[in-house]
Amino acid sequence: MRIRHLCTALALLTTAATLPAATANAAAARTTSTQQAAHALPLTHLYDNTAVGGGSRPGAADFDGAGNALSAPDLSAAGWTPGRALDLDAAPLTWPRATAGRPDNVVANGQTVAVGGTGPALTFLAAATGTGAPATGNGTVRYRDGSVSGYRLTAPDWRSGPPATKAVALPHLVTPHGTVDGPARLYAVTVPLRPGRAVASVQLPRAAASGAELHVFALAVRRDDRGWTGSWATSASGYTGVGPWRDRTLRLVVHAGAGGQRVRVRFTNTFAAAPVTLGAASVAVRRGGATADGTPRRLTFRHGQRGVRVPAGAEAVSDPLGFPVPAGRDLLVSVHLPGTVTAAPVHQEAAQTSYLSAAGAGDRTADAGGGAFPETLTTWPFLTGVDVAGGPGSVVTLGDSITDGVRSTSGADHRWPDALARRFRQQHALPRYGVLNQGISANRVVTDRYPGDGVSNDMGGVSAGHRLQRDVLAQTSVRTVVLFEGINDVRWGTPAPEVVDGLRALARRAHAHGLRVVAATLTPCGGYQDCSAEVEARRQAVNAALRDQGGAFDAVLDFDAVVRDPAHPQRMLPAYDSGDHLHPGDAGLAALADSVDLRKLVPGQG
């Protein structure tokens, strides 16, 4: 008996000794992960820096080590009050509950933070101080199954960082000598997570060797959108003066791509300096004009509230509503603005007519008829997305005026992404993706048109690089992105290698988040007023690099070959030309959509 037991023990020891090193390492990693997760603390328990001053303890804040701080009155004016929920790029963040002069952020130095949730990415509300340069460091995410993943976090400097990517900008600083002009900026920075794994804890980066300090105010797992598909979306192309509107209702017309039995609607206050109050909102199928097909259904927010106050830079997503959205039909999204609105984030080139109630008409979101809406709009203010329950996910088309539908027939939904959405709906061999149009007229790959801050008449948007996070990565259940942009860069003098590098950088970032990336060649513009021989040479160089893409993209769509005139390849085929020689007309846009092999847009197919 003793011999048998001894043999068994020896066999077990031998088996353990001969386990593959990877298995042993994995077991050790799970043990280490579990131990470290058990020692994780909520971020609020780790606060060791005070960034907000100007309250009852004016000298207590020192954000940057030189006695300078964020202004509590400015934060309040932006709607960033203590404990305020902030939906930033689909992440449910919360501004610290601490009052001015109390610790409200942590200087990252390897601390382990307790974080829960399952989603595609992790978002940090952060900023750098100390050197005027960004702060960068590596951290670790630990999951409940014992696995780990690394990440690299870069936070822009709070004074010199780009306005185009900021979450909020404040006009003043609190200094030891009083309040002075700013600006001061905070950023929402996102890193990818392993799909489908529940997060247990996050180890913050170690102190940066450069001397810059990386401050973290909040962090959260991005909303898990599994089970939702984007039906319609648009980009905020800028922040511009409106009205003023007071106690009026917007009735905005959008075209549903994908359909479903439940709906949620997304509103944005991107680029804003002040909060906006949405007093009430509704959704209806459109009968015609501003008239609904039946009584509009009330939207609610935050578990049943009739309205919502959206802080500067943030978003609001309605509660899910049992409301059948028919695929391929127009919807009316109505929103009441009870206060005075003098500026708004808008999408400028709607190629659609929407409606506005008379001044002082009050809340008309429940009106079925259109009589209360005598004025018209050709922009989409505040509204940024409509999602439907179910479906396989979404394809995002990131582009410029050609994707935006400039010079297509207004109100007819003849943009090429509209036609692509119809093609997905009409087939059953592949997933029936929703298609989200994130085109902005005059947009560029590497240069901002709208600077990203302040009221402006330039509605060309921030660069594709600066808006990728918001307009692609944070979109609902995105699976694939189509990059069709660069003609404005080459027309306005950007060297072809810079455009190509910009597109490849977009692809790398999208790939890091698990997306399929498809690029499209630039279509011809010969005959347009500024399409010179030099522009044509740059366009051809970009297209040559895209066709010989060397693995930077998962597929390439040759839109140039689709619409060019074989006899004059620097020009568009006359049948496809809208007449200005830059923008395809309805027939040209349909040809672009019809040329797409849908398998190229489906992960694992093309």
pLDDT value at 440 more than 70:
yes
Q: Whose structure tokens read 């603390």?
A: 41
Convert the pLDDT of each residue in 324-378 to its tens digit. Answer: 999 999 999 999 999 999 999 999 999 999 999 999 999 999 999 999 999 999 9
Q: 30 with 84: CB under 8 angstroms?
A: no
- State the CATH number of the domain containing residue 111: 2.60.120
Confidence of residue 44 (pLDDT cuts 50, 70, 90): very high
**Is residue 444 assigned to a domain?**
no
Task: Say whether both 216 and 244 belong to one domain.
Answer: no
The whole-number pLDDT of residue 38 equals 63
The whole-number pLDDT of residue 55 equals 65
Task: Say whether both 301 and 270 belong to one domain.
Answer: yes
The whole-number pLDDT of residue 18 equals 35
Task: Say whether both 173 and 251 belong to one domain.
Answer: no
Convert the pLDDT of each residue in 456-469 to its tens digit. Answer: 999 999 999 999 99
Q: 37 with 145: CB under 8 angstroms?
A: no
The whole-number pLDDT of residue 17 equals 34
The whole-number pLDDT of residue 22 equals 41
Angstrom distances, CA of residue 200 to CA of 85, 89, 115, 149, 395: 22, 21, 6, 12, 30
Task: Say whether both 207 and 250 belong to one domain.
Answer: no
**Is residue 322 assigned to a domain?**
yes
Q: Which CB contacts under 8 angstroms, 24+ apart, belong to 300-304?
A: 302/85
Confidence of residue 221 (pLDDT cuts 50, 70, 90): very high
The whole-number pLDDT of residue 37 equals 57
The whole-number pLDDT of residue 578 equals 98
pLDDT value at 513 more than 50:
yes
The whole-number pLDDT of residue 54 equals 86
How many domains is the chain partitioned into structurally? Answer: 4
**Is residue 596 assigned to a domain?**
yes
Provide CB contacts within 8 A for 151, sequence distance 6+: 122, 138, 139, 140, 141, 191, 192
The whole-number pLDDT of residue 158 equals 98
* CA pair distance 500, 533, nearest whole angstrom: 19
**Is residue 85 assigned to a domain?**
yes
Last residue of a domain, one of 191, 221, 251: 221
Confidence of residue 208 (pLDDT cuts 50, 70, 90): confident
Task: Say whether both 210 and 324 belong to one domain.
Answer: no
**Is residue 34 assigned to a domain?**
yes
Task: Say whether both 397 and 516 belong to one domain.
Answer: yes
Q: 346 with 241: CB under 8 angstroms?
A: no
Convert the pLDDT of each residue in 88-117 to its tens digit. Answer: 999 999 999 999 999 999 999 999 999 999
The whole-number pLDDT of residue 19 equals 33
* CA pair distance 472, 268, nearest whole angstrom: 15
Q: 377 with 355: CB under 8 angstroms?
A: yes
User: Please, what is the angle between helix 586-595 and helix 416-425, to 10°?
Assistant: 50
Q: Whose structure tokens read 């030099």?
A: 534
Higher pLDDT, 178 or 3: 178
Convert the pLDDT of each residue in 238-286 to its tens digit. Answer: 999 999 999 999 999 999 999 999 999 999 999 999 999 999 999 999 9
- DSSP sequence for 80-144: --TT-EEEETTEEEE---PPTTS--BEE-SS-EEEEEE--SEEEEEEEEESSSS-EEEEEEEEET
The whole-number pLDDT of residue 58 equals 63
Task: Say whether both 180 and 203 belong to one domain.
Answer: yes
- Which residues sit opposite 179 in a β-bridge? 174
Q: What is the mean pLDDT of residues 415-422?
A: 98
pLDDT value at 419 more than 70:
yes
Candidates 479, 519, 475; CA nearest to 500 is: 519
Task: Say whether both 343 and 254 belong to one domain.
Answer: yes
- Write phi, then psi, for 466 (nearest 5 degrees): -80, -20
The whole-number pLDDT of residue 7 equals 34
Task: Say whether both 90 and 109 belong to one domain.
Answer: yes
* CA pair distance 516, 506, nearest whole angstrom: 12
* CA pair distance 70, 62, nearest whole angstrom: 9
Share of the chain above pLDDT 70, in %: 93
Question: Hey, how many other C-beta atoms are within 10 angstroms of the C-beta on 94?
Answer: 17
The whole-number pLDDT of residue 539 equals 98
pLDDT value at 559 more than 90:
yes
Task: Say whether both 179 and 273 belong to one domain.
Answer: no
The whole-number pLDDT of residue 469 equals 98
Convert the pLDDT of each residue in 131-159 to its tens digit. Answer: 999 999 999 999 999 999 999 999 999 99
**Is residue 196 assigned to a domain?**
yes
pLDDT value at 195 more than 50:
yes
Provide CB contacts within 8 A for 180, sequence distance 6+: 172, 173
pLDDT value at 5 more than 80:
no
Convert the pLDDT of each residue in 7-29 to its tens digit. Answer: 333 333 233 333 344 444 444 44
- DSSP 3-state assignment of 313? coil
Candidates 33, 3, 43; CA nearest to 204 is: 43
Q: List the 148-155 sheet strands across, edge first.
A: 112-117, 199-203, 135-143, 148-155
**Is residue 411 assigned to a domain?**
yes
The whole-number pLDDT of residue 35 equals 52
The whole-number pLDDT of residue 210 equals 78
- Which residues sit opposite 345 in a β-bridge? 239
The whole-number pLDDT of residue 492 equals 97
User: Is the overall model pTM greater than 0.75, yes or no?
Assistant: yes
Provide CB contacts within 8 A for 529, sequence distance 6+: none
Task: Say whether both 532 and 503 belong to one domain.
Answer: yes
pLDDT value at 549 more than 90:
no
Domain with 89, as residue range(s), is: 43-221
Question: Hey, how many other C-beta atoms are within 10 angstroms of the C-beta on 26?
Answer: 13
**Is residue 303 assigned to a domain?**
yes
Mean pLDDT of the chain: 93
- State the CATH number of the domain containing residue 544: 3.40.50.1110
The whole-number pLDDT of residue 4 equals 32
The whole-number pLDDT of residue 587 equals 98
Q: 351 with 586: CB under 8 angstroms?
A: no
Confidence of residue 39 (pLDDT cuts 50, 70, 90): confident
- Which residues sit opposite 341 in a β-bridge? 245
Q: What is the mean pLDDT of residues 567-581?
A: 98
Residue spans of beta strands (DSSP E) within 544-596: 555-557, 564-565, 568-572
- Which residues sit opposite 383 in a β-bridge? 267
Task: Say whether both 494 and 404 belong to one domain.
Answer: yes
